[in-house]
Amino acid sequence: MSETPRIGLALSGGGFRATAFGLGCLRALHDRDLLKHVRVVSGISGGSLLAAMWAYGPRGFVDFDASVVGLLRSGIQEELVRRTFTPWAMARNVGSAVSAGTNRQPRSRTRTDSLVAALQARPFGQRTLPEVSHTDLATVISATDMTSGNAVRFGSQVSSCSPYGEITNPVTVAEAVAASAAYPVLLPALTRDYTFRDRSGKASNRRVVMTDGGVYDNLGLSPLMPGRSPLHTDHVYDLDYLIAADAGPGRSERTAARFWPSRIKQTFEITHGKTQDASRARIHLAGETRQVRGFVHAYLGMNDRNLPVPVPDLVSRDAVERYPTNFASMTDTALSAISVRAEQLTRVLLSHYCPDLG
């Protein structure tokens, strides 16, 4: 372990709910003067948006905070609709769909490209992945490769997909975030052609079809976990502490579905939930076996009674757990409730489980 703490920060998926929850977590870390010790930030979907706005946005925290709040208040769903239904975009998307149906190939252009354009219209989205605003900060933004079922990890140090190798093309932040945020129910997969270089140095061109990184790992913890081997992945980081901002809604009692569309949806939710439970168990195991010096798991959906100490005026889980997974504009009430709960949880868990962090 180093004398100066090396922190890995994971920002989960979950649309704007995750962006707002992660913002509260970052506020708590900023108040403790700990953001300067974050060596790598990993983001998924809504968490990848926040990670990108922090890592590639303004250096000052106040300006960064204001930019995130402004985006959450305005939303981007209406902008996506406007960009998707321009005559040029519609013609391009229809032509791509017809070509894909004829050639039995993935669609080269979809409305997810409107998300790329919306993000590229903002300063942070125009940067390429190595152009991080903060010294000694690495980034990992994850999507899911539909062909191999593996993660595509875009990062400031390296971008790669383990079956294919390292991506040699320059990739913009907007493209990486859009791939990570292409939630299958709302947005089609994003298709891109990349040149890969494998470990032997051989180059190959591949068309990669990418969907939401949460399909593979919705918490963003995988690339930060201890014990990863450089023989099998390009993303290996030496970290002392792990902090996860997990915007999952938690367990709730559901009514058993009666018809097949609802049964399929419910089955997916159960399977996805169990996968995320396994990832949560891994971070707890890493802490219990002292593979890391400490960890904090700020979980939006945690049972309030499970907190190690009571929190005065805690924003309850019931007040935030039903907020939808989308990118629509947030009301000030919802934004405040979600972000304040994240601040409260992060502060109390830091104090209890990582008192040496101050």
Which of 106-115, 183-192, 266-275 holds the top average pLDDT? 183-192
DSSP character string of 263-311: HHHHHHHHHHHHHHHHHHHHHHHHHHTTSSSEEEEEETTS-GGGSSS--
Count of helices and strands (H, E) across the chain: 11, 10
Q: Whole-angstrom Cα distance, residue 257 to residue 267?
A: 9
Please report where in the chains the tokens 């972000």 appear, as a residue. Answer: 339
Per the structure block, which two tokens stand in for 267? 């089955």
Q: Among 131-145, 185-199, 216-230, 241-255, where is mean pLDDT lowest? A: 241-255
Q: Are strands 241-246 and 7-11 parallel, antiparallel or unpaired?
A: parallel
For 47-189, strand residue ranges (E) read: 138-145, 151-155, 160-161, 165-167
Provide the mean pLDDT of the chain. 89
Q: Are 276 and 251 in contact (CB under 8 A)?
A: no
**Please, are residues 6 and 39 in contact by the beta-carbon 8 Å criterion?**
yes
Confirm whether pTM is higher than 0.85.
Answer: yes
Q: Which of 11, 48, 44, 9 is nearest to 246 (CA)?
A: 11
**Is residue 229 over pLDDT 90?**
no
Predicted confidence (pLDDT) at residue 1 exceeds the cutoff of 50:
no
